[in-house]
Amino acid sequence: MTETRFYRVSFDKELKRQVQQLPGKLRQEAKQRIADLSTGPRPLGAIELPGYSDIYRTWLTDARYRLIWEVIEQERRVEVYYVGLKPNYEELLGPPPLPSD
């Protein structure tokens, strides 16, 4: 029997506001996808953002909308940053870190 290892999912008040502003069906979908990150922080179809280590995005059913989160493996934690219309990633997350030699 395999044991499910859970991740703690965290987010701020701004994310709660973003979820509440989504259209009805997308609101429910976003809530479910955020909850699902606790057992699968890298779901099928999630894409790691180029230049950002361990930060992922996925589309909601309406492909104009994105969910963006970071997996902090050493803490077994998922930090959800954004849900809404496709953002400018650098404005949201800051410029990607420069590669180290």
The tokens for 71 are: 């997996």
pLDDT at position 1: 55
pLDDT at position 98: 76
The tokens for 19 are: 């979820």
Q: What is the pLDDT along the chain (101 residues), one digit of tens a residue?
A: 556 789 999 999 999 999 999 999 999 999 999 999 999 999 999 999 999 999 999 999 998 999 999 999 999 999 999 999 999 888 889 988 877 65
pLDDT at position 96: 86
pLDDT at position 5: 83
Tell me the pTM. 0.89
Q: Kindly give, in sequence order, each residue whose CB lies less than 8 Å from that of residue 76, ignoring residues fewer than 6 positions away.
A: 5, 6, 7, 8
Domains defined along the chain, listed by start: 8-87 (3.30.2310.20)
Q: What is the DSSP string of 26-81?
A: HHHHHHHHHHHTTT-SS-TT-EEPTTSTTEEEEE-SSTTEEEEEEEEGGGTEEEEE
Q: Other CB atoms closer than 10 Å to residue 64's CB: what's the count?
A: 10
| 3-state secondary structure (DSSP) of residue 82 | strand
